[in-house]
């Protein structure tokens, strides 16, 4: 079972981001990384399965605590299988909301409706909420009892996590005798007090996580101990609503975050937010926190390597997951990529876009593995089965990735962690996302380094009884080469209250730098949350010659005060007016804002904000004046400083500042405090700053008192070229919804000086004015608005209707007619007739004019319809048929019969004729066509089947008999041919509708795997830009409905079981000369000798059958679109 991990050099590394924070990339960024072939896998659990493991943590003795999920997608539901629940899901603001929804929607009385949502797992014959309580998450303890280097015992440490709202056990941590586990909605603290291997003391550590159904896997992960002694963990974008032990209400309903609290559960806070689904996180030697965030599968998007700092907003909101082809701030405002000009100022962006599917993440604590991989982070990409290693190098106040390389492929590791023996342990889910009760724990190591003197020394010290050590020994161990030893020594000294000892080490320039840093962290543990603390040792270090000591001292001085604990936008603290030690500390920190080292500036600014003393506002502004646009972390720190300490008047006065970036920073500070004074910046001379103010007022919880100013800015602001600003100004008027606001939007739509795109956006708002959607038009929050009478908007439309009808844009003319009809705003029939009779006008405009004439009851309507019936334009003829079916159904029926009897008529017109049969009571025509089914062109068969199912013909025996005969025939054919039921989708589709489906449909997720004509999308599946040139419609249809039938070479997934027990997965590229080639999603290849393969799985496609998630009409439209993709190159 010893398997060499196949190192694969990345030939085409992900492009490095532009240098952050003003520093040039370090020289080490181009240094050679270690040869990954020195690493080896060993299956640590060779003799038994570890079922569906997710996370792992090891205690000092080397026992592994491993979580198992049984609930993922089975009982912890996934919104992608319940798309109709999205509006409900986005309304939840607490776990209790989700629970109440399940109890109301998943009742026994609704069992039949819920068969597709939940399985009958309790076997009572009913599909209901009780089935959500059957399966339990589980924590195992796995041990090597005989010391042979392989686990031989697995026992259940804890289970019984199975309420209807329980998520997955995605995180675990052993710390000081306790086992913490993140199982939404709770973080659990467990302990085995009697030594029987089972937790007998259980408490909910913190409650209130995961109020959304959302995407499966977006749970809590990454439990770890921070350098400050707090417990840290991450959560995906299922949301946070926690009432802390101190009684505070923390609300982040649509964001992923990094969270922290004391080991007893007190002082819970959101450390950083705006993440999507960072899974595991870790810290480097200097206490800097990192992770890799998962992307949202939008076209052109990639995962993100993030440096995670206190109070940062990384920009993501869960509501953006469900935005379609319309405006999506995440992509359209460039939030998903490293810093670029024009990127919103409130976001602290990613350092670099990175690899797919990040899961496990761990930093080498110092002596683990060996010197080649010292200071490296390790990342697993699951379920693709790749692993990576890289370093993070300081770059001003920020970092850059260096020495990035792939270290292995084939084993789908999820969570990882280092053991006391210096090996890296990882859990293997056993084949990917589907749960199958399989899995294993693997050990990654450098064989030549295993058992080395330094690793044995570290292991001995990790396993020591720290309570029995002298302070002298503990101070010596503060300088050990391994973080785990240093940390345990620090925590013991802090536990003893060894203030003088820690202070002495921190000030000793001869002591190792890391020892001094850990001493400062220990002092931080002893002083935080204490107004009366002795700050002198930390204050003294602000002038230390070592810049990292200055930075860490500043960090500790501000770390325990309320501004950093608040982090809830609904109640950001206002500490102004406090005196005493905080004033002293703030004044001591202010000079560091001008330090030569950017990290010192960064931590000083954050600390000042946490202290909340107004005296420091001016030096913060002076610092901001020196910050360059791309120095995103320095900017964030300065903004956090201003948020905590500046008075409102001081921030508003910055509206006159010469620097665009200083003004933008003031906006973000006011946004974080939800201060309506931010409206002053809507008038800013810079479109960038004004747009930032619009976001501050409009997005997230909104600032209600400032919404009228934003609405008014639609007519007063000068930034009509900034779409971000205009969309929010339009929507502010839409939300407020009074006649004055409607008039403002209509006037904007009528202004020819505006861009057509934004004028059409105004029309979209007007179109929904009387019946507002549940989800916000711009950011997607659930913001239900009451229905509004047409009288609110009709006068405004009437006032501008003539100028709109003569606009240069045919689309605006058409929308004007449509809107006027719906609002009963009269348009002079002569005006409409002139448009209709003008053959030079756009086809859609002429068709709408005819509909408007019909709505007006034009006296010569019959004459106009007669003309339209013989028009050359199909859409005009379609409209005439629809009007005639209502005004003269008998005459229309004759027209429909003639059209359906002609093979020369356009397909779209004949499809329209079929759709009108219910309106004209054309059962006889329908029955005749059904009886002659074999003669019906394929492009009409789907339309006929839909007509036959129309309730209008429910009592038509002739139609029913004919259709039943056809159904019987189709059922017989389908029994032996999966495609028989879908052959009617081959022809007759709407290519434009298919293109929209490809780009926007949440269920099909096409762009998550493929690229299309515009080059956007993913490389997981084949590039389809030329598929219509290379393949016929039958092939395209089968690929959609039965993706396993024909798999494009290089894109089918295969799992190989090797003779030595290793499992290797990847895209099957082919086999030649006895060698099998696999490829990972990044394009890296692995070759395996056929003689080394024991067993092969079938080559499968990971694409779901589209016939199960889309209607036949949608499938037909997509086939039509794919057939148009005929790029030559």
Q: How confident is the model at residue 570 (pLDDT cuts 50, 70, 90)?
A: very low
> Radius of gyration of the chain from Cα atoms?
33
Question: Tokens 């148009």 sit at which residue?
Answer: 1124
**Domain range enclosing 1070:** 1053-1096
Chain-centre distance for alpha carbon 798: 43
In terms of domains, do 742 and 808 share one?
yes
Q: For residue 431, what are the contacts with CB-CB under 8 A and spacing of at least 6?
A: 383, 412, 438, 1055, 1063, 1065
Which has the closest alpha carbon to 645: 623, 617, 684?
A: 617
pTM, two decimals, is 0.85
In terms of domains, do 668 and 570 share one?
yes
Q: What is the mean pLDDT of residues 223-239?
A: 97
Cα separation, 443 vs 166, whole angstroms: 30
Assigned token pair, 88: 């409900």
Answer whether residue 983 is part of any domain.
no
Question: What are the tens digits of pLDDT across the range 821-876?
Answer: 899 998 889 989 999 999 988 899 999 999 999 988 999 999 999 999 999 999 99
Q: What is the pLDDT of residue 182?
A: 97
In terms of domains, do 238 and 354 share one?
yes
- Kindly report the length of the chain: 1129
Answer whether residue 99 is part of any domain.
yes
Cα separation, 167 vs 656, whole angstroms: 50
In terms of domains, do 359 and 257 share one?
yes
In terms of domains, do 961 and 1034 share one?
no
Which has the closest alpha carbon to 294: 341, 214, 224, 354?
A: 354
Cα separations (Å) of 260 from 208, 268, 486? 14, 6, 21
Cα separation, 637 vs 616, whole angstroms: 13
Q: Percent helix, strand, coil in the chain (nearest 5)?
A: 40, 20, 40
Cα separation, 698 vs 19, whole angstroms: 32
Q: Check whether 574 has a pLDDT greater than 70.
A: no
What's the chain's average pLDDT? Answer: 88
Answer whether residue 12 is part of any domain.
no
Q: Phi/psi at 48 (nearest 5 deg)?
A: -155, 160
In terms of domains, do 84 and 202 share one?
yes
Question: Tokens 């999966």 sit at which residue?
Answer: 978
Q: What is the pLDDT of residue 25?
A: 28
Question: Tokens 């570290």 sit at which residue?
Answer: 458
Q: Phi/psi at 158 (nearest 5 deg)?
A: -160, 145
Domain final residue pick, 928, 952, 976: 976
Is residue 388 within 8 A of residue 404, CB to CB? The reply is yes
Cα separation, 8 vs 593, whole angstroms: 45
Cα separations (Å) of 569 from 250, 278, 311, 330, 344? 8, 21, 11, 20, 18
In terms of domains, do 808 and 839 share one?
no
In terms of domains, do 679 and 753 share one?
no
In the chain, the N- to C-terminal Cα span, in Å, equals 47
Q: What's the domain count of the chain?
A: 7
CATH of the domain at 638: 1.25.10.10
In terms of domains, do 318 and 333 share one?
yes
The percentage of residues in the chain with a pLDDT greater than 90, rounded to a whole number, is 70
In terms of domains, do 742 and 662 share one?
no
Cα separation, 95 vs 461, whole angstroms: 43
CATH of the domain at 1075: 2.30.30
Q: For residue 535, what are the contacts with CB-CB under 8 A and spacing of at least 6?
A: 527, 557, 581, 584, 585
Domain final residue pick, 825, 848, 874: 825
Cα separations (Å) of 52 from 138, 155, 164, 1064? 10, 15, 20, 17
168 three-state secondary structure: coil
Answer whether residue 903 is part of any domain.
yes
Question: What are the tens digits of pLDDT across the range 650-694?
Answer: 999 999 999 999 999 999 999 999 999 999 999 999 999 999 999
Answer whether residue 347 is part of any domain.
yes
Question: What are the tens digits of pLDDT across the range 608-635?
Answer: 999 888 888 999 999 999 999 999 999 9
1072 three-state secondary structure: strand
Which has the closest alpha carbon to 484: 524, 457, 446, 448?
A: 457
In terms of domains, do 908 and 820 share one?
no
In terms of domains, do 898 and 798 share one?
no
Cα separation, 959 vs 981, whole angstroms: 20
Is residue 906 within 8 A of residue 912, CB to CB? The reply is no
Range of lowest pLDDT (462-466, 491-495, 636-640, 803-807) = 803-807
Q: Check whether 403 has a pLDDT greater than 50.
A: yes
Q: What is the pLDDT of residue 1106?
A: 62
Q: What is the pLDDT of residue 387?
A: 95
């Amino acid at each position: 079972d010893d398997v060499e991990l196949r190192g694969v050099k990345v030939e085409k590394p992900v492009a490095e981001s532009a240098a952050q924070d003003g520093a040039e990339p370090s020289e080490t960024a181009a240094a050679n990384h270690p040869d990954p072939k020195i690493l080896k896998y060993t299956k640590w659990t060779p003799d038994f399965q570890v079922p569906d493991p997710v996370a792992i943590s090891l205690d000092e003795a080397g026992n592994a605590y491993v979580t198992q999920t049984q609930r993922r997608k089975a009982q912890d539901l996934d919104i992608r299988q319940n798309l109709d629940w999205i509006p409900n899901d986005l309304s939840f603001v607490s776990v209790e909301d989700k629970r109440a929804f399940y109890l109301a929607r998943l009742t026994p009385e609704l069992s039949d409706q819920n068969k597709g949502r939940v399985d009958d797992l309790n076997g009572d014959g009913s599909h209901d909420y009780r089935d959500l309580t059957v399966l339990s998450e589980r924590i195992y303890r796995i041990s090597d009892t005989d010391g042979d280097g392989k686990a031989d015992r697995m026992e259940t440490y804890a289970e019984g996590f199975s309420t209807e709202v329980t998520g997955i056990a995605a995180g675990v941590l052993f710390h000081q005798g306790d086992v913490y586990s993140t199982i939404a909605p709770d973080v659990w603290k467990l302990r085995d007090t009697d030594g029987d291997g089972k937790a007998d003391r259980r408490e909910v550590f913190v409650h209130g996580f995961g109020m959304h159904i959302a995407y499966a896997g977006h749970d809590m992960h990454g439990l770890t101990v921070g350098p400050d002694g707090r417990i840290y963990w991450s959560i995906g974008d299922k949301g946070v609503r926690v009432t802390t032990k101190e009684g505070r209400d923390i609300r982040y309903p649509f964001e992923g975050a990094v969270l922290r609290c004391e080991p007893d559960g007190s002082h819970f806070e959101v450390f950083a937010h705006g993440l999507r689904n960072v899974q595991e996180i870790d810290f480097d030697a200097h206490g800097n926190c990192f992770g890799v965030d998962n992307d949202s599968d939008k076209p052109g998007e990639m995962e993100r390597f993030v440096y995670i700092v206190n109070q940062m907003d990384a920009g993501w909101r869960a509501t953006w997951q469900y935005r379609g082809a319309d405006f999506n701030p995440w992509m359209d405002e460039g939030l998903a990529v490293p810093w670029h000009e024009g990127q919103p100022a409130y976001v602290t962006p990613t350092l670099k876009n990175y690899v797919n599917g990040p899961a496990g993440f761990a930093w080498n604590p110092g002596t683990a593995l060996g010197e080649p991989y010292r200071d490296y982070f390790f990342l697993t990409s699951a379920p693709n089965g790749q692993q990576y290693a890289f370093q993070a190098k300081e770059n001003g106040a920020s970092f850059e990735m260096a020495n990035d390389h792939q270290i292995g492929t084939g084993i789908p590791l999820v969570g990882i962690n280092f053991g006391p023996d210096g090996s890296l342990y990882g859990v293997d889910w056993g084949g990917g996302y589907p749960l199958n009760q399989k899995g294993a724990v693997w050990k990654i190591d450098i064989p030549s380094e295993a058992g080395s003197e330094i690793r044995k020394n570290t292991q001995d010290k990790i396993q020591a009884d720290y309570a029995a050590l002298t302070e002298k020994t503990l101070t010596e161990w503060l300088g050990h080469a391994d973080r785990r030893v240093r940390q345990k020594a620090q925590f013991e000294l802090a536990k003893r209250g060894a203030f003088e000892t820690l202070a002495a080490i921190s000030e000793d320039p001869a002591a190792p730098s890391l020892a001094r840093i850990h001493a400062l962290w220990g002092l931080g543990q002893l002083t935080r949350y204490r107004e009366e603390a002795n700050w002198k040792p930390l204050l003294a270090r602000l002038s230390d010659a070592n810049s990292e000591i200055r930075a860490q001292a500043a960090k500790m001085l501000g770390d325990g005060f309320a501004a950093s604990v608040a982090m809830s936008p609904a109640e950001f603290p206002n500490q102004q007016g406090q005196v005493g030690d905080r004033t002293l500390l703030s004044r001591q920190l202010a000079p560091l804002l001008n330090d030569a080292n950017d990290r010192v500036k960064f931590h000083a600014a954050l600390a000042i904000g946490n202290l909340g003393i107004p005296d420091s506002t001016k030096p913060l502004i002076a610092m901001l004046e020196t910050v360059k646009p791309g120095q995103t972390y320095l900017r964030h720190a300065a903004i956090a400083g201003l948020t905590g300490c500046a008075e409102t008047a001081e921030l508003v006065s910055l509206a006159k500042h010469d620097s665009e970036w200083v003004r933008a920073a003031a906006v973000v500070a006011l946004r974080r405090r939800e201060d309506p004074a931010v409206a002053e910046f809507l008038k800013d001379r810079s479109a960038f700053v004004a747009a930032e103010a619009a976001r501050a007022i409009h997005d997230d919880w909104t600032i209600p008192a400032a919404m009228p100013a934003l609405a008014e800015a639609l007519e007063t602001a000068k930034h009509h070229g900034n779409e971000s600003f205009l969309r929010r100004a339009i929507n502010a008027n839409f939300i407020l919804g009074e006649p004055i606001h409607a008039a403002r939007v209509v006037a904007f739509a009528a202004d020819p000086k505006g861009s057509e795109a934004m004028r059409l956006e105004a029309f979209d708002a007007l179109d929904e004015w009387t019946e507002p959607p549940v989800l916000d038009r711009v950011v997607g929050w659930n913001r239900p608005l009451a229905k509004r009478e047409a009288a609110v908007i009709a006068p405004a439309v009437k006032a501008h209707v003539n100028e709109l009808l003569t606009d240069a844009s045919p689309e605006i003319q058409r929308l004007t007619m449509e809107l006027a009809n719906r609002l009963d705003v009269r348009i002079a029939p002569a005006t409409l007739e002139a448009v209709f009779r003008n053959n030079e006008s756009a086809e859609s405009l002429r068709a709408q004019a005819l509909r408007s004439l019909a709505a007006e009851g034009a006296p010569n309507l019959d004459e106009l319809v007669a003309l339209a019936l013989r028009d050359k334009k199909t859409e005009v003829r379609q409209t005439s048929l629809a009007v005639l079916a209502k005004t003269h159904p008998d005459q229309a029926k004759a027209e429909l019969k003639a059209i359906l009897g002609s093979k020369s008529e356009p397909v779209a017109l004949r499809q329209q004729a079929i759709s009108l049969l219910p309106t004209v009571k054309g059962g006889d025509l329908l029955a005749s066509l059904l009886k002659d089914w074999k003669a019906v062109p394929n492009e009409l068969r789907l339309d006929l089947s839909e007509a036959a199912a129309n309730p209008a013909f429910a009592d038509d025996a002739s139609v029913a008999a004919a259709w039943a005969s056809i159904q019987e025939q189709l059922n017989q054919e389908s029994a032996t041919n999966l495609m028989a039921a879908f052959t009617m989708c081959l022809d007759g589709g709407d290519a434009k509708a298919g293109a929209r489906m490809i780009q926007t449909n949440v269920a099909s997720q096409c762009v998550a795997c493929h690229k299309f004509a515009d080059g956007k999308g993913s490389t997981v599946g084949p590039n389809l830009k030329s598929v219509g040139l290379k393949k016929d419609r039958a092939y395209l249809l089968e690929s959609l409905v039965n993706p396993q039938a024909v798999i494009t070479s290089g894109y089918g997934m295969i799992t190989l079981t090797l003779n030595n027990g290793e499992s290797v997965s990847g895209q099957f590229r082919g086999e030649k000369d006895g060698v099998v080639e696999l490829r990972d999603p990044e394009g890296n290849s692995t070759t395996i000798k056929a003689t080394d393969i024991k067993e092969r799985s079938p080559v499968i496609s990971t694409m779901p059958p589209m016939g199960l998630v889309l209607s036949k009409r949608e499938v037909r439209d997509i086939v039509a679109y794919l057939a148009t993709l005929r790029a030559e190159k």
